[in-house]
Amino acid sequence: MIKFLIVVKNNSDNLFLGQTVEKQGTIIELLGNMRFKVELDEDVVQFFSKKIITCKLSGKMFTRHIRIILGDRVKVQITIYDNLIGRIMLRL
């Protein structure tokens, strides 16, 4: 008898494996669980449907304890499949 083991890994980082776009924005609101509301720059508005997206910290920023406060300029990585969420890659 042959048995198969199927492992399903549900990880939010899998959303960023495809094509991504990097844009700049400003932190406008601090949410819980290391999430932030980011207002994208004016030149991005015609490409994306919303100007304000929800972002989380990247893994290296989290492990190196890089602090982000209200009003910081950040570089955001956005997947082309879901442009409502993003990942903060760099504090400018």
- CA quadruple 3, 9, 15, 18: dihedral sign: negative
Distance between CA atoms of residues 32 and 67, nearest Å: 14
pLDDT digits (tens, 9 = 90+) for 29-82: 999 999 999 999 876 555 566 689 999 999 999 999 999 999 999 999 988 888
Domain extents in the chain = 20-91
- Candidate CATH numbers 2.60.40.2480, 2.40.50.140, 2.30.40.10, 3.40.640.10; the one for domain 20-91: 2.40.50.140
Cβ 24 vs Cβ 74: under 8 Å: yes
Contacting residues for 69 by C-beta, under 8 A, at least 6 apart? 27, 30
Model confidence at 9: pLDDT above 70 = no
Model confidence at 13: pLDDT above 90 = no
pTM > 0.85: yes or no: no
Say how many CA atoms lie within 13 Å of 55 toward its Cβ: 34
